[in-house]
Amino acid sequence: MAAPHVTGALATLRQTYPDKSVGDLESLLKTSGTTITDEAGVGIPRIDVGKAVGAAEPQPDPEPATRPQPSTIVNDADHVVPDPGTAESPITVNGVSGNAPGALQVGVDLTHEWLGEVKIDLVDPNGKAYALKTTNGTDPGGTLGKTYTVDAGSSPANGTWKLRVQDTSAGAEGTLSSWSLTFPSHENQTDHAIPDAGTVESPITVSSAFTGSAPQALPVYVEATHEWLGDLQISLVDPNGKAYALKATSGTEAGGTLRKLYTVDAGASPVNGTWKLRAVDTSEGATGTLTGWSLTFPTSYENQTGHTVPDPGTVDSPITVSGLTGSAPRALRVYVDATHEWLGDLEISLVDPNGKAYALKSASETETGGTLRQVYTVDAGASPAGGTWKLRVEDISQGAAGSIAGWSLAF
C-alpha cells in the first residue's frame, strides 16, 4: 500500500494530468524527486510534487516540417482482385505544379493465378485511363513485377491517381501487392531533329536545389523516333563533359520509336549544372527526331499507406529502394507523419535493409497528444542504399491510440 503522502501526491498529479496513466504519474514522481543522503550514507528518495508538476508541463507542438517532395510515391496496401471484378488503389500527389510528365513511371507488383485475365489501367485525377496491360490468352499464373512508362502530359499532376486492376474472367484469383508513381524532376520535351549523319544535343539544367554528387543510379528516360534505330548512338553528358553511354549502334535494329528508361551510375559527376543528351546518327540514309528525355533528381521515396499503431505494440511500414548501389548517404532525410493521443508514448526508429536501427524519436513524459510531422536526418553511411527500409513505430504504454499517415526517405 502506498504511503499517505505518496497517495496524496498521485491524487494531485491525477487532477493536473487526467490523461496520464498511474504508471506515468508514478514515473514522474520517481524521476523528478530529490535524493537525500542520511548520516549512514543511505540515499532516501524524497518526492517533490511541485517539481513533478513542472516536469510534466506539456511541451509545445513543434512546427510542422516541410515534407520532402518525393520522386517515387508508393502504396503498399494489399488489394484482393475480385474474381471476376475490379480493384482500385489510390496514390495522392500534391506539390507538383502543372501537368504530369511525358515519362511518368508506374511500378506494379501483382500476383495472379492467371495473369492473362488481368487488365491494368492507370487512372488520372480527372478519370482519364491509360492502358498499361491488356488481356491475352498466353500469360500464365505468377507474379507481375514491371515498370510501365506513360506519356501523361495531358493530365494534371496533382490529385488522386488510381491503379485499376480488372479480372475479366472467373476461375482465378489474385492480389495487388503494391504500386508506385515516379515523377522525373527534370525533363526536356522539345523536339530535336537528328542530322543525317550528325549529332544533336538536348540540354537540361539542374539548379542549386541539389548539392553534392549525382546519384549512383540516375534514371534517364529517352524517347526518339528514327527510320533506322540501329544508326543511333545515345549518351548522357554530365556538366563537366563526361559521357555515359546509353545506347550503342546495331546492325539489326530496324526503324521505329525508342522509349526506354536507362539507369546510370553518375556518382562521379556533380549534380548541378547543364546535362545533355547526345544523339549521334552514325550513318547516312535515314532520319529521325529526339522527341524528349528526362532526369530524376534526387531519389526520394514516399509510402502513403496508413498504419494503425497497436496500443501498446509495434508496427513497421516498408519502403523498398531499387536501383541504388553502394552506401546510403550520411545525411539521409526521414520524414514522418503520425498522429497519437499521447505522442510521448511513441518511440520511432528507421531500420535499414540489414536490420540496423537508427533512433529517430524517443518516448517522453511531457509530450502531449497531437500530430507529428517532422524531418529527421540520419547518418546512414554504414547501411546499404538498396533494399527494404522500414519505419518502426512503437507505442510503449497502454491507454492512447494512434496511426502513421505516411513517411518518406530522401537520398
Position with higher pLDDT, 90 vs 189: 90
CATH assignment, 300-410: 2.60.120.260
pLDDT in tens, 232-248: 999 999 999 999 999 99
Residue 121: is its pLDDT beyond 70?
yes
Residue 219: is its pLDDT beyond 70?
yes
Q: Grid coordinates representing 69?
A: 517532395
Residue 123: count of CB within 10 angstroms of its CB: 17
The C-alpha atoms of residue 156 and residue 149 are separated, in whole angstroms, by 16
Q: What angle do CA 4, 5, 8 make, to 5 degrees?
A: 85
Does the domain spanning 72-182 belong to CATH 2.60.40.10? no
Does the domain spanning 186-295 belong to CATH 1.10.3720.10? no
Q: Grid coordinates representing 71?
A: 520522386
Count the alpha carbons within 13 Å of 259 in the hemisphere toward its beta carbon. 10
Q: What is the pLDDT of residue 214?
A: 84
Share of the chain above pLDDT 90, in %: 62
Tell me the residue ranges of DSSP E strands in 216-286.
218-226, 232-237, 243-247, 256-264, 273-281
Q: What is the pLDDT of residue 54?
A: 45
64-78, 229-243, 307-321: least confidently modelled range: 64-78
162-171, 181-190, 294-303: least confidently modelled range: 294-303
Q: Coil, strand or helix: which one is 232? A: strand
Residues 163 and 120 sit within 8 Å (Cβ to Cβ): yes
The C-alpha atoms of residue 217 and residue 66 are separated, in whole angstroms, by 26
Checking DSSP bridges between strand 72-75 and strand 174-182, what pairing results, if any?
antiparallel
- 4-16 vs 22-32: helix crossing angle, rounded to 10: 110
Task: Label residue 385 by pLDDT band (50, 70, 90).
Answer: confident
344: phi > 0 → left, psi -120 to 50 → alpha, else beta; which?
alpha
Q: pTM for the whole thing?
A: 0.69
Choose among 264, 253, 181: nearest CA to 224. Answer: 253
Q: Start-end ranges of CATH 2.60.120.260 in the chain?
A: 72-182, 186-295, 300-410
Residue 27: is its pLDDT beyond 90?
no
Start-to-end CA distance of the chain, whole Å, equals 55
Position with higher pLDDT, 398 vs 208: 398
Residues 263 and 323 sit within 8 Å (Cβ to Cβ): yes
Count the alpha carbons within 13 Å of 175 in the hemisphere toward its beta carbon. 7
Rounded mean pLDDT, 20-45: 57
Please state, in angstroms and as integers, the Cα–Cα distance from residue 88 to each residue in 84, 150, 167, 175, following that order.
Answer: 14, 18, 12, 11
Top-confidence range, 32-36, 213-217, 264-268: 264-268
